[in-house]
């Protein structure tokens, strides 16, 4: 008996690969942002002490930017997943019957 | 130490901290009353294991976002970071960012697969394609190590803070926290725990936001003016990296523990089972990241606010660790009533975190060890519920005993130890079990045990224990946090052992796994 789920599994595999790529790239971006910040603290503290305007230092600004970057990355992923990933999953599971 | 006290004495500020203060006590009892009321309400709805472990999977994404934030933002992050910023300036902010960056990793790699593949614990996912008994035992060791060290740190911190803020003796404070924790989890399970966490997150965010706004109001709502005032008073160095990061590899190692540890914290992972589906799990991390990030931005303001208005010396004079910076700032800004409120918020913060930890530990004992190892998966729901409740009592009593045993000890390192174990013991095995079809039972067990015991061994040999606790001149292992070594090691051991024990991948089985991974139970 031919397995009716073969086409479905292939589509799912393609979707899984796409999600894997996006998750991997976004995780990599988070790692680069955060460890880049840590590396600056560790290896170039004077740069981070440089003042922008009267009160703000580059270090404080970048620290806040790390938090903002975390928000943006999660927002980007959730938007992609809610729009594209879920729609494709729905279409795959409907193709079953 | 005497010398430090003598130096500190003249600068000790006038403060109501530590004096039994009527307003603080009213808030304190109000929080106990509200949370016990929630527990009573939840107890009537807790009838099955699904209610007890997973709140019946009916928590909405927004609710779970608040609960995740409530579970995660410990007293260490509220009082500790504010204190660190107020006494060291910029260096404290390294923690503010570090505690957040694990959340996107949880979202991208763990939250949805976990919800789709598991039932109550993260061991469900690791053991899914592998042999139950060995994997469950190893995962329970990883879970319990994480939970116990986190719990000791929270209990000892709680005893000290409650004594400091309410004037209640240390031991009494520990017993109150332990009893409240047992009551929430024993009677109300995950439903009560979730709502305690939501209430706590609301109070903490509201309190911190109000305090930060009152501080900023004195600087024309301009954070840069606040930072400028701090630099003017205590030198430009407070806005730049200081001596906290004397060893770059230490900073990177701690960063790795914080970033990957969040994705291996059992009490956080367990929360993803309380929502109806993977999409809700995803959305709930989005809300949690927003709330937690917002909170850590507020710690910038609170820390520098306390530095400017209270002063580092005055803060250290009240508590050498700097933990009273936020309460002292509240007292300066809003007098005794606001101090009472912030003290009560800190108390609620501790209660919510320990309840989450107790529930996670109890599930490892009952669901992983009792049901799936001792009873080989054959136990009725009624029996599992009974065992889970007994485990809660055992864990609660143990937490009180440990809290009293470690009185006066330096246990601050135990939080980063818990993160290091979570990052190296739990996270690698969880990740590989989700995404790598050739992962084997032997690989999983070896990875979890190497990560957990490797972390414990290296912490023992590190300056954290040898120098800070035993006062030796130097330590054999140079890093304060071992994650830089133990995370890669745990992955490497898992991969090498899996490849040497692996058999051919079962194509049909893997297709089935893929369906469940993305579609959950509906993919079966």
Which residues numbered 26-65 in A keep a CB inside 8 Å of some CB on B?
26-27, 30-31, 33-35, 37-39, 41-43, 45-46, 48-49, 51, 53-57, 59-60, 63-64
Q: What is the pLDDT of residue B366?
A: 94
Is residue A59 included in any domain, yes or no?
Answer: yes
For the cut 90, the answer to whether the pLDDT of residue A36 exceeds it is yes
Task: Give the pLDDT of residue B216.
Answer: 96
pLDDT bucket at A43, cuts 50 / 70 / 90: confident
In A, minimum Cα distance to B226 occurs at: A55
Query: Which pLDDT score is estimated for B5?
Result: 39
Are the Cβ atoms of A38 and B255 closer than 8 angstroms?
yes
| Cα–Cα dist B241/B248, whole Å | 12
Q: Which domain holds residue A20?
A: 6-95
Nearest CA in chain A to B94: A63
Residues of chain A neighbouring B242 (CB-CB closer than 8 A): 45
Instruction: Enumerate residue ranges in chain B where pLDDT < 50.
Output: 1-10
- Structural domain contains residue A74: yes
User: Which of B89, B92, B101 would you mutate first to test chain A, the one with the most A CBs within 10 A?
Assistant: B101
Distance of CA B456 to the CA centre of its chain: 18
Decide if B226 contacts B308 (C-beta within 8 A): yes
Choose among B109, B225, B240: nearest Cβ to A48.
Answer: B240
Q: State whether residue B522 sits within 8 Å of chain A by CB.
A: yes
Q: Using 50, 70 and 90 to split pLDDT, how confident is the model at A66?
A: very high
Q: Do B97 and A37 touch (CB under 8 A)?
A: yes
A80 touches chain B (CB under 8 A): no
Domain membership of residue A28 (yes or no) is yes
**Looking at the predicted structure, is the pLDDT value of residue A2 above 50?**
no
Out of A27, A53, A63, name the one closest to residue B109 (CB).
A27
Residues B431 and B122: beta-carbon distance below 8 Å? no
Domains contained in chain A, number = 1
User: Which pLDDT belongs to residue B4?
Assistant: 39
ipTM for the complex shown: 0.92
Q: What per-residue confidence (pLDDT) applies to B13?
A: 61
In a domain, A1, yes or no: no
Cβ-Cβ contacts under 8 Å between A and B: the total is 160
Q: Say if B282 is an interface residue toward chain A (CB within 8 Å).
A: yes
Q: Give the domains, in start order, of chain B with CATH numbers.
A: 58-523 (1.20.1730.10)
Phi, psi of B437 (to 5 degrees): -65, -20
Q: How far is CA B113 from the centre of its chain?
A: 22
B96 reaches A (C-beta below 8 A): yes
What gap in Å lies between CA A68 and CA B370, rounded to an integer? 43
Domain assignment of residue A78, yes or no: yes
Q: Is residue A91 part of a domain?
A: yes
Tokens standing for residue B125: 């996912």
How far does B395 lie from chain A, in Å, by closest CA? 35
Where helices occur in B461-506 by DSSP H, the ranges are 463-466, 483-501
Tell me what pLDDT residue B261 has.
95
Please report which residue ranges of B262-380 form alpha helices under DSSP H: 266-269, 278-309, 312-318, 325-363
Bigger pLDDT: A12 vs B489: B489
């Amino acid at each position: 008996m031919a397995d009716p789920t073969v086409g479905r599994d292939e589509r799912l595999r393609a979707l899984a690969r796409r999600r894997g790529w996006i998750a991997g790239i976004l995780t990599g971006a988070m790692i680069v942002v955060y460890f880049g910040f840590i590396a600056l603290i560790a290896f170039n503290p004077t740069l981070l002490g440089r003042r922008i305007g009267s009160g703000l230092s580059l270090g404080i600004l970048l620290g806040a930017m790390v938090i903002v970057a975390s928000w943006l990355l999660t927002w980007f992923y959730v938007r992609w997943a809610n729009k594209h990933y879920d729609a494709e999953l729905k279409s795959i599971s409907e193709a079953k019957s | 130490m005497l010398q430090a006290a003598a130096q500190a004495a003249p600068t000790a500020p006038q403060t109501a901290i530590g004096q039994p203060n009527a307003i603080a006590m009213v808030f304190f009892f109000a929080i106990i009353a509200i949370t016990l009321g929630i527990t009573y309400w939840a107890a009537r709805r807790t009838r099955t294991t699904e209610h007890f472990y997973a709140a019946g999977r009916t928590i909405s994404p927004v609710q779970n976002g608040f609960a995740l934030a409530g579970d995660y933002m410990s007293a260490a992050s509220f009082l500790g970071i504010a204190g660190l910023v107020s006494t060291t300036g910029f260096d404290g902010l390294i923690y503010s960012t570090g505690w957040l960056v694990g959340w996107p990793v949880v979202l991208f790699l763990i939250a949805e697969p976990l919800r789709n593949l598991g039932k109550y614990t993260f061991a469900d996912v690791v053991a899914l394609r592998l042999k139950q008994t060995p994997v469950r035992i190893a995962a329970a060791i990883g879970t319990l190590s994480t939970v116990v060290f986190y719990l000791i740190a929270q209990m000892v911190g709680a005893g000290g803070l409650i004594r400091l803020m309410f004037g209640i003796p240390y031991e009494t404070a520990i017993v109150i926290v332990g009893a409240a924790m047992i009551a929430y989890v024993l009677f109300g399970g995950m439903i009560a725990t979730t709502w305690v966490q939501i209430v706590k997150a609301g109070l903490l965010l509201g309190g911190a936001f109000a305090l930060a706004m009152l501080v900023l109001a004195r600087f024309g709502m301009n954070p840069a003016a606040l930072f400028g005032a701090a630099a003017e008073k205590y030198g430009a160095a407070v806005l730049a990296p200081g001596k906290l990061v004397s060893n770059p590899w230490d900073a990177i190692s701690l960063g790795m523990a914080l970033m990957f540890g969040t994705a291996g914290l059992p009490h956080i992972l367990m929360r993803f089972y309380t929502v109806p589906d993977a999409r809700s799990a995803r959305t709930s991390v989005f809300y949690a990241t927003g709330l937690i990030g917002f909170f850590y931005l507020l710690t910038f303001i609170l820390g520098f606010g306390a530095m400017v208005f209270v002063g580092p010396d005055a803060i250290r004079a009240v508590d050498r660790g700097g933990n009273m910076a936020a309460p002292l700032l509240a007292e300066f800004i809003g007098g005794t009533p606001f101090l009472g409120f912030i003290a009560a918020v800190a108390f609620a913060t501790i209660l919510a975190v320990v309840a989450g930890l107790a529930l996670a530990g109890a599930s490892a004992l009952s669901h992983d060890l009792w049901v799936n190892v001792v009873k080989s998966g054959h136990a009725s729901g009624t029996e599992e519920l009974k065992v889970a409740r007994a485990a809660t009592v055992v864990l609660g009593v143990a937490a009180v005993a440990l809290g009293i045993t470690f009185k006066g000890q330096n246990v601050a390192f135990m939080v980063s130890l818990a993160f290091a174990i979570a990052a190296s013991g739990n996270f690698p095995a969880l990740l590989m079990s989700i995404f790598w079809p050739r992962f084997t039972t032997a690989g999983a067990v070896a990875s979890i045990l190497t990560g957990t015991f490797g972390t414990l061994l290296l912490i023992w040999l590190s300056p954290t224990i040898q120098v800070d606790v035993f006062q030796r001149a130097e330590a054999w292992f140079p890093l304060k946090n071992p994650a830089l070594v133990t995370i890669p090691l745990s992955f490497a051991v898992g991969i090498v052992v899996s490849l040497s024990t692996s058999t051919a991948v079962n194509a049909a089985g893997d297709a089935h796994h893929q369906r469940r991974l993305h579609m959950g139970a509906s993919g079966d």
